[in-house]
């Protein structure tokens, strides 16, 4: 199985205070579509009050050019209503749902308990199946949480088992606050793959600029084939203790993979154009 990279401009943009013009967002994502990433996490269908930066997701989508691209689109949703909006768009392949194994974070993030969030997830998965979409579930707080909620690998395995039992084929372990270390990743990731061999597990890591390599290496050596990153590491992590913690830079992941003789199949010229253009997006 080839390496799959999900480029995450949505994650990079959503915390920016000043509104990024719709034309700029669309132009940036159009460049990313030409690079050849497996998936583009391009927007979200959530309340504009919650994330005003992404209130124009549908408008951005209408301006995208899919000519010649192999990339699939991913949109984040947080409830059933958002999923109903997202499935109307044939261009979208994946709906991403953040499911936290931290009760406190689930309440803060979606105003639901874990039990309520799981019920929502079941309904959303049925909606996806009826509309030819794939549900990708992010196991949020997958490596610990700052709230004192109970956390252990058994809890991760338990909830993963329940997700798989619902027929969910795509799960990403999310290091929401950037606290994962290589030992954790090397322990947790292979175990999930062993227990649930029919599921595709990705990984969404946060890191400081000088600590990304051991985490990526641990995931890669554990057999991970699906990575979430963002150009230049844009996108903060507001709950992290270190303000430098954010997304892992796409260019760093690519350099690492090339050193492992992995062929990414990306158009590097288009990547450099997107990196240059990113300076107009994140100002």
All domains in the chain, ordered by first residue: 4-281 (3.20.20.70)
Tens of pLDDT, residues 68-99:
899 999 999 999 999 999 999 999 999 999 99
pLDDT interval class at 237 (50, 70, 90): low
Q: How far is CA 238 from the centre of its chain?
A: 16
Tens of pLDDT, residues 247-276:
999 999 999 999 999 999 999 999 999 999
Look at residue 67 and give its three-state secondary structure.
Answer: coil
Q: What does the block give as tokens for 102?
A: 């931290």
| Axis-axis angle for helices 250-259, 268-281 (nearest 10) | 160
Cα distances (Å, whole numbers) of residue 193 to 73, 170, 223: 25, 12, 9
Residue 238 has a pLDDT of: 59
Average pLDDT over residues 90-119: 93
Residue 243 has a pLDDT of: 63
Question: In sequence order, which residues have a C-beta less than 8 Å from that of residue 68 and are 6 or more positions away?
Answer: 34
What torsion, rounded to 10 degrees, do the Cα atoms 264, 282, 212, 42 define? -50
Residue 5 has a pLDDT of: 98
Residue 218 has a pLDDT of: 97
% of residues, the chain, pLDDT over 70: 97
Tens of pLDDT, residues 1-39:
789 999 999 999 998 999 999 999 999 999 999 999 999
DSSP-derived secondary structure for 100-134: ES-HHHHHHHHS--HHHHHHHHHHHHHHHHHTT-E
Residue 208 has a pLDDT of: 85
Chain-wide mean pLDDT for the chain?
Answer: 94
Q: 168 with 133: CB under 8 angstroms? A: no
């Amino acid at each position: 199985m080839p390496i799959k990279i999900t480029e995450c401009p949505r994650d990079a943009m959503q915390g920016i205070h000043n509104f990024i013009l719709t034309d700029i967002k669309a132009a940036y994502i159009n460049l990313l579509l030409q690079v050849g990433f497996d998936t583009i996490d391009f927007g979200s269908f959530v309340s504009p009050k919650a994330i005003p930066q992404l209130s124009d997701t549908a408008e951005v989508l209408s301006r995208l050019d899919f000519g010649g691209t192999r990339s699939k689109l991913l949109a984040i949703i947080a409830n059933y209503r958002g999923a109903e909006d997202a499935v109307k768009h044939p261009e979208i392949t994946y709906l991403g749902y953040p499911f936290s194994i931290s009760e406190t974070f689930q309440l803060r993030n979606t105003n639901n308990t874990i039990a309520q969030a799981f019920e929502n997830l079941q309904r959303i998965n049925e909606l996806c199946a009826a509309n030819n979409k794939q549900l990708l579930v992010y196991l949020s707080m997958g490596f610990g949480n700052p709230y004192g909620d109970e956390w252990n690998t058994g809890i991760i395995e338990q909830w993963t088992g329940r997700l798989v039992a619902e027929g969910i084929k795509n799960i990403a372990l999310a290091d929401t606050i950037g606290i994962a270390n290589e030992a954790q990743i090397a322990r947790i990731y292979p175990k999930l793959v062993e227990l649930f061999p029919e599921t595709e597990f990705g990984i969404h890591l946060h890191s400081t600029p000088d600590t990304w390599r051991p985490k990526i290496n641990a995931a890669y050596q554990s057999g991970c084939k699906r990575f979430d990153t963002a150009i230049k590491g844009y996108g903060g992590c507001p709950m992290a203790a270190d303000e430098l913690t954010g997304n892992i830079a796409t260019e760093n992941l690519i350099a690492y993979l090339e050193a492992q003789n992995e062929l990414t199949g990306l158009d590097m010229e288009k990547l450099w154009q997107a990196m240059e253009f990113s300076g107009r997006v994140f100002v």
